[in-house]
Structure 1
Amino acid sequence: MSVPSGNRSPATAAAAPDPSAETITLRELLRALDTAVVELIDAPAGDDVAVASVALVDSSDLTVETESQSPMQDLYLHVGVADADAVRWFDDVSGRARRHRPHAVMSKTAHESSAVQAAAHRAGVALVAVHPKARWDHVFPLVQRMLDRSRRGRGAPADPDLLATDTDLFGLAQIVAQNAGGMVSIEDAQSKVLAYSASDEAADELRALSILGREGPRDYLRTLQKWGVFDRLRESDEVIDVPAHEELATKRRLVVSIRQSTEDTSTAPRLLGSIWVQQGDAPFNPDAVDVLRGASAIAARIISRSLNAPSTEGLLVQRLFGARGGGVDVPSVASALNLPMSGAAAVVGFAPTGSESSTATGEFAGMGSMLRLHASSFSRHSVATVIGDRAYVLLPRYKSAAGVTAWTRQLVDQFEAKRSIVLRAAIAVPVPDLAQVAAARVEVDRVLDGTAATFPEGRVTTLAESRTAVLLGEILDLVGEHPELHDPRVDALYEYDRKHGSNLCESAETYLAEHGDVRNAAAALSVHPNTLRYRIRRVEVIIGIGLQDAADRLLFELQLAVHRRATPEKPPQG
């Protein structure tokens, strides 16, 4: 499930760093990731090697990479790679020229296998152990952010300025730690760590767990809830003093919310995250509260800017899907994103269900990295993006349409089971080439729009499978948008129901749905067949048409559907 980082073509992905460009060394990367997450086992070529690209791979990707003689990524994250596969891969790459070998590998089993350690040493590749409890979907984005930061220019200024315009979250965390005293973690609105300062021996277990991407102890979270910490973070900008808890072995903390202000005074500021400072062996600095207030404002600007201005790679992906103006040079984008130009592809779109779209959109929008990891486990060349309240995945060179459908169903089930978000998905397949990706996105949007009313039957579908619902929905929308196409005779029928408390409209709809079978329709309505016959005759009198005429019946059924689509409430019963 290889996930290359950066927007360079394979020909330059592992080339020697440009001397004029800012780079980050392995030593600096490990220091930034913290000893709670990583530990260097061996560095045959030293730990000052440059790291400018990263890929997350499993055992199947190692076989693919071995068959290629193209330059490799600088850093590989081995996810679920068996020791035997890792040894074989290290031995294969050891015979390559230096530029065709990675500089470092991160693995959760590096501590345990002497065979892997020996193979990495023979290959001249640095081996880094990742904490067994660390989550790859947490470590991988952290590494990416560090590499992005190095491309923009590394390090805090010699005289740290809290108001520096080029400060990023990692730099801000370090500056707050220096000025407030303590160890800093900056989290998003879902309590996922975005950046942190260096830890020391005074770090408690709660800090270690948060850096590893794990949830804090439930007893402590319940205590925070009991103390009203989370409510105060949502409702105010005050700095909250969270006392130490001896029984839970947590130390004193200061925390402040990160909120996006709005000019609309009737709307509460949007919660973007929080900044936590754990006290170490020394007390907080006297002005720690003021430092946190200033940091909160800066963090809000940084996070808002990142939300509104995705990375260069993110922009390319969104333009490939037809967003942000589209009009891409497909060969150039394919080269930048390391996508194959030939072979059919699949496009999958995901949307929260109608009942959850308003509450889940914010959380769903933050799941781009998680979706990308799942997609990459299925197709090593996949790309994913979130546009508005929908997510899209491109799967180049898929093996079978059935496989794409099975993977999509599995992913929908996982999101519901593990994250309590119920999704619908639409698949466009095959997509002949990358130039058709934007059109494929339009197709999946049509399906998601057209099948919303059929949920949960339409959890995962395609245009071919749901064409009737999609086309009928679009026809009804088209008719609904043009008042001159509305039949006033149907309005008269609804008006009659409103005035008399009757249900002639429902009776007519049921009659039509049963293809004019009075007995079946009457049974569905729980009325006597003669009662239904009387109602249908009354309908024909009011609207002035005969339901035995095919054209009248078609027009009437279409008009009823348009009215029902515009007014989903059921007519009054009578």
Structure 2
Amino acid sequence: MTLRQLLVAIGKPLVELCTPEADPRVCGVAILDPDDEPGSYQQDLVLVIGARGREAARFVRAAARRGAAVVAVKEAPAELAAVAREAGIALLGVAPRMRWDQVETVVRQVLDAAALSEGSDEEPGDLFVLAQTLAALTGGSVSIEDAGNRVLAYSRSDDEVDELRRLSILGWEGPRSYLALLREWGVFERLRSGEEVVRIDEHPELGIRRRLAVGIRAGAQHLGTIWVQEGREAFADRADSALLGGARLAAVHLLRHRSEAGRPRNELVAGLLDGKANPDLVAGQLGIDPAAACTVVGFAVREREPDQPVHELHRADMLSVVSVHMASYRKGALVGASGSRVYAVLPDEPGLASLVADVARVLERRTGVRVQAGIGSPVPTLHEVPGSRAEADRVLGAMGEANAVATISDLRAEVLLGETLSLLHGNPDLRDPAVASLVAHDEERGTELVPTLLAYLDAMGDVGAVAASLHVHPNTVRHRIRRAGQVSGIDFGDPRERLSCHLQLLLAVTTVTTYNAIRG
């Protein structure tokens, strides 16, 4: 990310740009200790510790010679900025009271967030950018804290800040005396009990300005808080609605960040499932046998109109529960997430379906929403895992509402039908205009040729069964079938034409579920 993007994220009171014309790209952060030999600092932000003011000049030049993009120094006078310009490097001045480990932590956090969001729609800086955006929308100074009142991000502000905000940022958590007052005033209880913007009055005797606060929530779970301190001007008119929207965005970030601890292992498992990682290397790093037979199980949460933070929470819960249960089942079980689904790679043994059903029930009790699991075919080695994963996905795609767990063997016909319909959907040139004419005839004249013909083809021509299912006389069925042949020109005596017509009628009514609904 560029230096200016980094400064938008961290800014005052942490650092100040002493060479305002500079805007290099920053790829990492490094420490230069005067007692050590300088290393290679290609496009790094170098923190010069142990040297202040003018005495840091030679270290600024040394960092520049070693490829650094930016150098940070405590007590950076104007003459040091001139040295940096001459050396062709940007210079940051660090607040004297800041600890170097705090500076390194926040810079690394922002750069890591930018790297993780590369190629996605997320902006560099992540929570810091969100804090800066909320500051602009609310007209105040914003800080974002986790559930333990630790500061995760804050907005850069040239406005007046009170002692509470200054101490919170310098200490990376709210002062204990003020936290005790918030508990006494019932603020925390309100923040944790619902989705509302809480107003905290000004307390001049404590050096505290007026504040707005909103809890960051996913469902009933409290994840943290967004605080906004009032500056010289009053809060913006739409500050409350901006905070509510910001809290929902922050919830998504915090839930994603929660799963980052297991990211390297999850990436290995995801690479194995996708076929992008070498199975032998994955097996070596995870300590498992690459030649062992295994099966892939896919888990999916079925939500209607899901709220994104709640969906992220359910996905995180699903990953946690599946990991624990599968680890107890077999030490070598692999669990990882890909997209909105969670997958387990397990030894193929008797009782696997029963175990998976137990896990699905636990997940449903924990999340309160329906969880379904699809089991692929067993494969002889880790090299064939992508094939078993593809089958697990096909099963999940073909499962209706009735079952919580199914195998590819249970739903092979449904899977084949679904993929055939997908092929027809993606290739309009394969469709028969004669079928379209039947659908159009029903729509224009209010007839029921399509549902009658579907029932007839399903029943393999058993007129009595069709009449009973549709609650009509057998002669009515015969009449409709003859009429369907006249309208479309399809020869129902030809088995290939019957099959083609059947498939395309199923596609015409969109899904097998809609088809079943038409049949009653």
Same fold (TM over 0.5): yes
Amino acid in structure 2 at the alignment position of 1:435: H
Distance between the aligned counterparts of 1:407 and 1:197, measured in 2? 45
1:351 to 256, 280, 300: 300
Which residues in structure 2 correspond to 1:72-151 (within 5 Å)?
none
For the pair shown, which has the larger CA radius of gyration, 1 or 2?
Answer: 2
Q: Does 1:488 find its partner at 2:433?
A: yes
State the Cα RMSD in Å: 5.0
Which residues in structure 2 correspond to 1:205-220 (within 5 Å)?
none
Which residues in structure 2 correspond to 1:456-471 (within 5 Å)?
456-457=402-403, 459-471=404-416
Q: Does 1:362 find its partner at 2:303?
A: no
Distance between the aligned counterparts of 2:470 and 2:490, measured in 1? 23
Alpha-carbon offset, residue 550 of structure 1: 2.1
CA contact (8 A) 2:439 2:508 kept: no
Which residues in structure 2 correspond to 1:273-288 (within 5 Å)?
273-275=223-225
Which residues in structure 2 correspond to 1:88-487 (within 5 Å)?
157=99, 160=102, 164-166=106-108, 173-174=149-150, 224=190, 230-232=194-196, 240-241=199-200, 255-257=213-215, 273-275=223-225, 303=254, 306=257, 311-322=263-274, 326-353=275-302, 355=304, 361-367=311-317, 368-395=319-346, 397-398=347-348, 400=349, 402-449=350-397, 451-452=398-399, 454-457=400-403, 459-487=404-432
Alpha-carbon offset, residue 343 of structure 1: 2.1
Q: What's the secondary structure of 2:106's corresponding residue?
A: coil
Q: What's the secondary structure of 1:311's corresponding residue?
A: helix
CA contact (8 A) 1:272 1:303 kept: no
Distance between the aligned counterparts of 1:558 and 1:176, measured in 2? 55
Partner of 2:454: 509
Distance between the aligned counterparts of 2:381 and 2:355, measured in 1? 21
Alpha-carbon offset, residue 157 of structure 1: 3.5
CA contact (8 A) 1:501 1:572 kept: no
Amino acid in structure 2 at the alignment position of 1:376: A
CA contact (8 A) 1:503 1:572 kept: no
Q: What's the secondary structure of 2:107's corresponding residue?
A: coil
Deviates more, 1:474-483 or 1:310-319: 310-319
Distance between the aligned counterparts of 1:553 and 1:417, measured in 2? 46
Which residues in structure 2 correspond to 1:526-565 (within 5 Å)?
526-565=471-510
Amino acid in structure 2 at the alignment position of 1:542: V
Distance between the aligned counterparts of 2:461 and 2:272, measured in 1? 50
In structure 2, relative to structure 1, the CA distance for the partners of 1:478 and 1:299 (3 Å cut) is closer
Q: Which protein has greater RCO, CA pairs closer than 8 Å, 6+ apart?
A: 1
CA contact (8 A) 2:195 2:215 kept: no
Amino acid in structure 2 at the alignment position of 1:274: G
CA contact (8 A) 1:508 1:536 kept: yes
Partner of 1:40: none
Alpha-carbon offset, residue 436 of structure 1: 2.0
In structure 2, relative to structure 1, the CA distance for the partners of 1:171 and 1:272 (3 Å cut) is closer
Alpha-carbon offset, residue 345 of structure 1: 1.8
Alpha-carbon offset, residue 257 of structure 1: 4.6
Alpha-carbon offset, residue 230 of structure 1: 2.8
TM-score normalised by structure 2 residue count: 0.55
Q: What's the secondary structure of 1:385's corresponding residue?
A: strand
Alpha-carbon offset, residue 165 of structure 1: 2.1
Distance between the aligned counterparts of 1:171 and 1:526, measured in 2? 61
Distance between the aligned counterparts of 1:170 and 1:300, measured in 2? 10
In structure 2, relative to structure 1, the CA distance for the partners of 1:182 and 1:385 (3 Å cut) is farther
TM-score normalised by structure 1 residue count: 0.50
In structure 2, relative to structure 1, the CA distance for the partners of 1:272 and 1:477 (3 Å cut) is farther
Amino acid in structure 2 at the alignment position of 1:383: L
Alpha-carbon offset, residue 307 of structure 1: 7.6
Amino acid in structure 2 at the alignment position of 1:165: V
Partner of 1:38: none
Distance between the aligned counterparts of 2:379 and 2:467, measured in 1? 47
In structure 2, relative to structure 1, the CA distance for the partners of 1:366 and 1:196 (3 Å cut) is farther
Alpha-carbon offset, residue 498 of structure 1: 0.9
Partner of 1:192: none
Amino acid in structure 2 at the alignment position of 1:339: I
In structure 2, relative to structure 1, the CA distance for the partners of 1:420 and 1:198 (3 Å cut) is farther
CA contact (8 A) 2:293 2:381 kept: yes
CA contact (8 A) 2:226 2:247 kept: no
Q: What's the secondary structure of 2:345's corresponding residue?
A: strand
Distance between the aligned counterparts of 1:417 and 1:455, measured in 2? 17
| 1:439-460 deviation line (CA, Å, top 9, x unaligned) | 22122112222x13x3314x21
Amino acid in structure 2 at the alignment position of 1:388: G
CA contact (8 A) 1:490 1:559 kept: yes
Distance between the aligned counterparts of 2:263 and 2:296, measured in 1? 21
| 1:344-393 deviation line (CA, Å, top 9, x unaligned) | 12211012237466776433322222321122122222222221121111
Distance between the aligned counterparts of 1:514 and 1:356, measured in 2? 36
CA contact (8 A) 1:347 1:428 kept: yes
CA contact (8 A) 1:162 1:172 kept: no
CA contact (8 A) 1:255 1:274 kept: no
Q: What's the secondary structure of 2:195's corresponding residue?
A: helix
Q: What's the secondary structure of 2:478's corresponding residue?
A: helix
Distance between the aligned counterparts of 1:198 and 1:383, measured in 2? 43
In structure 2, relative to structure 1, the CA distance for the partners of 1:412 and 1:181 (3 Å cut) is farther
Amino acid in structure 1 at the alignment position of 2:437: A
Identity %: 27
In structure 2, relative to structure 1, the CA distance for the partners of 1:171 and 1:420 (3 Å cut) is closer
Partner of 1:216: none
Distance between the aligned counterparts of 2:456 and 2:365, measured in 1? 40
Distance between the aligned counterparts of 1:510 and 1:518, measured in 2? 9
Q: What's the secondary structure of 2:324's corresponding residue?
A: helix
In structure 2, relative to structure 1, the CA distance for the partners of 1:301 and 1:482 (3 Å cut) is closer
Amino acid in structure 2 at the alignment position of 1:348: V
Distance between the aligned counterparts of 2:247 and 2:495, measured in 1? 67
Amino acid in structure 1 at the alignment position of 2:263: S
- Which has more helix, going by share of residues? 2
CA contact (8 A) 1:519 1:529 kept: yes
Amino acid in structure 1 at the alignment position of 2:321: M
CA contact (8 A) 2:213 2:225 kept: yes
In structure 2, relative to structure 1, the CA distance for the partners of 1:491 and 1:301 (3 Å cut) is closer
In structure 2, relative to structure 1, the CA distance for the partners of 1:382 and 1:538 (3 Å cut) is same
